[in-house]
Amino acid sequence: MNIVVCVKQVPDTWSERTLRESDSTLDRDAADAVINELDEYAIEEGLRLAEAHGGEVTILSMGPDRATEAIRKALSMGADKAVHLVDDALAGSDLLGTSAALAAVLGQIGFDLVILGSESTDARTGALPAMLAERLGVPQLSYASKVEVDGSAISIHRLADYGYDTVEATLPAVVSVVEKINEPRYPTFKGIMAAKKKPVQTMSLADAGIDPATVGLANAASEVTGWAKRPPRQAGTIVTDEGDGGAKAAGFLAERKFI
Amino acid sequence: MAEILILADHDGESVKKVTFELITLARTLGEPAVVWTGPGAESAQARLAEYGAAKIYVCPGPDFDDYVVAPKAELLAELAASAAPAAVLLPNTAEGREVGGRLAVKTGWGILTDVVGVDQSLSADQVIFGGAINVTSRVRTGTPIIAVRPNAITPEPAEGAAVIEPVSFTPSETARQARVTGKVVAERGARPELTEASIVVSGGRGVGSADNMALIEKLADKLGAAVGASRAVTDAGWYPHQFQVGQTGKTVSPQLYVAIGISGAIQHRAGMQTSKTIMVVNKDPEAPIFELADFGVVGDLFNVVPQLVEEIENRAG
Ligand SMILES: Cc1cc2nc3c(=O)[nH]c(=O)nc-3n(C[C@H](O)[C@H](O)[C@H](O)COP(=O)(O)OP(=O)(O)OC[C@H]3O[C@@H](n4cnc5c(N)ncnc54)[C@H](O)[C@@H]3O)c2cc1C
Ligand SMILES: Nc1ncnc2c1ncn2[C@@H]1O[C@H](COP(=O)(O)O)[C@@H](O)[C@H]1O
């Protein structure tokens, strides 16, 4: 099975994240960069499926040069190879541009299964898996808390507010995972050493056959027109429980008409 | 006035509150036209009228619930082509965002997600990076597709005609590739849904065990609230994953958020920071969650919460 896992490098949530004054895009230099956490679960699921059914796991990442750090980490977890879509013209792409670019690469490298995280911690749109499925014309199996493959049949549990749905389809397909699905492995020392020698193919827009007019900040279908740091919340009332904490809390709720 | 298409969120019987929020918002932008997929439109008609729906496009079949997302996006694309709306509004739920994303691909129109407000020029407000930054943004290609965060808009009644307009529609083969073959409903009692609830009571690691989550549930039930949990709780298996609030869980924006035994890590705050009122119970006065509190009690939750429950009972009785 030919499995491609889409991995995004994101600013670490722990560091202060901000936008750039010049063009209101993410200031990637201001923050430490890590693999989007849910993508580690996607990598883990890809590795498990390849271990169980045979096949290869390819990492696909679109991002600046620095994204190679995320790619190496994914390889050190055990993925076989990687494709890095990197081109200055891609900077500032919106969902339409990103999905078009990733779909173009996927069309070129081929796949039986594409696995993504269900959401990224910076953009948090959660729309990309569906958009890739739409562009590729393959089934959308998103928000998976469980994945099973049997020959060309694939089924998942799709997490929902009320519990989950069971969903079935035929490969090729796009899957996105939630963190309940597995426990990602840590790279071993051996894995880290091996990752240094694994092939990483860099692709430019031209290599992937992507029309430059469909990607990048200038061609984005949406734009940020302004932003400001949120003012801190006004300091509230803090009381120490002296046997009357619950009563005081009830007093507050009554005052605000919640009870 | 141009139509504003609204994808209704409903479960076939009851209409989700976010639908009324979207209609309320749509009234300020144009003529609200609700798109109703699947059964139940006739019984919902009166309620949709109450909030000012001018029109309801009703497409009872195919059974939209039998396939993942794609048929809804196809239907919306057809309607978007024929109705030429000024905007398309969807709930910023897992499914709403996915429908919106597919619609964006089909139409080439721009999409904005997790929006908390839209003005008459269709400029949208968003709150990003876990509540750190306010952003205004707009769609500059095509008709704006906007996914609006539940509970961000206050639903306000206004009379609407709510004329039903039947739509016939057949989804393509491609839209029927991902088949829903079963639905497993977890026990949840009669509590409101997490993202919809006007009050959310969440428990954190301080609660100490799965059994003790009953204490959180008890307080929630007294307040008519939904139950939420920090990731420490869902990771430990004390409460199901779908109730997790935060960066990798649900984003909630209730009138009142009660955080009990939760430290307030940035990833948790990302999911609750825009709550209107925040109350905290934590025994550590240094816990960062107190920075957000409108009212905080420094104390042991096992003393404070039972007393709070009792006080609410007394006041009610
Ligand atoms: C990429 C990433 C994504 C994440 N996503 C999420 C997410 O979506 N949601 C989320 O919640 N977290 C998320 N986290 C985890 C987050 O960083 C914290 O670890 C988590 O929120 C901590 O949960 P907690 O506050 O319940 O536990 P703790 O941080 O352990 O806090 C427990 C609190 O309970 C208090 N306490 C203990 N006993 C009592 C008592 N008897 N009475 C009163 N108070 C008591 C303590 O003083 C303490 O403040 C994420 C982390 C990462 C790295
Ligand atoms: N630039 C990118 N390169 C590769 N994968 C990406 C990229 N952006 C997003 N993804 C994938 O899409 C998922 C959802 O992201 P999002 O829709 O931005 O919330 C992520 O978890 C990644 O798996």
Distances (CA, A) of B26 to A46, A145, B32, B52: 42, 35, 5, 9
Overall average pLDDT of the A222-243 stretch: 92
Count of H-run helices and E-run strands, chain A: 7, 13
C-beta separation of A147 from A181 below 8 A:
yes
Three-state secondary-structure class, residue A90: helix
Strand-pairing partners, residue B35, are B7, B57
Query: Ligand 2 centroid to A175 CA: how many Å?
Result: 12
> What pLDDT does A13 receive?
74
CATH classification for the domain delimited by A2-219, as one of 3.40.50.261, 3.40.50.620, 3.30.70.270, 3.30.2230.10: 3.40.50.620
Q: What is the pLDDT of residues A56-74, one digit of tens each?
A: 999 999 999 999 999 999 9
Ligand 2 lined by A120 (C-beta under 6 Å): yes
> What pLDDT does A31 receive?
73
Distances (CA, A) of B292 to A100, A232, B136, B265, B301: 40, 8, 23, 12, 18
> What pLDDT does A162 receive?
84
Euclidean distance between CA atoms A87 and A181, whole angstroms: 33
Euclidean distance between CA atoms B225 and B185, whole angstroms: 20
DSSP 8-state secondary structure symbol assigned to residue A55? -
Place of tokens 């989950």: A164
C-beta separation of B163 from B55 below 8 A:
yes
CB contacts under 8 A, A 145-184 vs B, are: 145, 155, 157-170, 173, 178-180
Distances (CA, A) of B173 to A250, A255, B67, B250: 56, 57, 11, 32
Euclidean distance between CA atoms B282 and A35, whole angstroms: 32
Farthest CA pair distance, chain B: 61
Place of tokens 């609204």: B6
Q: Is B106 on the interface with A (CB under 8 A)?
A: yes
> What pLDDT does B189 receive?
67
Q: Residue B44, by phi and psi: left (phi above 0), alpha (psi -120 to 50) or beta?
A: alpha
Ligand 1 site-directed mutation target among B243, B263, B279, most atoms within 8 Å of CB = B263
> What pLDDT does B190 receive?
76
pLDDT above 90: residue A15: no
| A231's tokens | 């003012």
Three-state secondary-structure class, residue B6: strand
Phi, psi at A59, each rounded to 5° = -90, 135
Q: What's at A139, amino acid-wise?
A: P
If we measure between CA atoms, which residue out of B201, B186, B274, B185 comes closest to residue B233?
B201
DSSP 8-state secondary structure symbol assigned to residue B113? E
C-beta separation of A90 from A213 below 8 A:
no
pLDDT above 90: residue A215: yes
Euclidean distance between CA atoms B36 and B31, whole angstroms: 16
If we measure between CA atoms, which residue out of B199, B205, B250, B195 comes closest to residue B221?
B199
C-beta separation of B133 from A18 below 8 A:
yes
Ligand 2 site-directed mutation target among A120, A124, A174, A175, most atoms within 8 Å of CB = A120
Query: Ligand 2 centroid to A153 CA: how many Å?
Result: 25
Phi, psi at B199, each rounded to 5° = -130, 135
How does strand A2-6 pair with strand A56-62?
parallel
Ligand 2 lined by A126 (C-beta under 6 Å): yes
Q: What's at B53, amino acid-wise?
A: A
Closest residue of chain B to A179, computed from CA coordinates: B248
Strand-pairing partners, residue A58, are A4, A81
Euclidean distance between CA atoms A243 and A240, whole angstroms: 9
pLDDT in tens, chain B (317 residues): 899 999 999 988 889 999 999 999 999 999 999 999 999 999 999 999 999 999 999 998 768 999 999 999 999 999 999 999 999 999 999 999 999 999 999 999 999 999 999 999 999 999 888 778 899 999 999 999 999 999 999 999 999 999 999 999 999 999 999 999 999 987 666 788 898 899 999 999 999 999 999 999 999 999 999 999 999 999 999 999 889 999 888 999 999 999 999 999 989 998 999 899 999 999 999 999 999 999 999 999 999 999 999 999 998 87
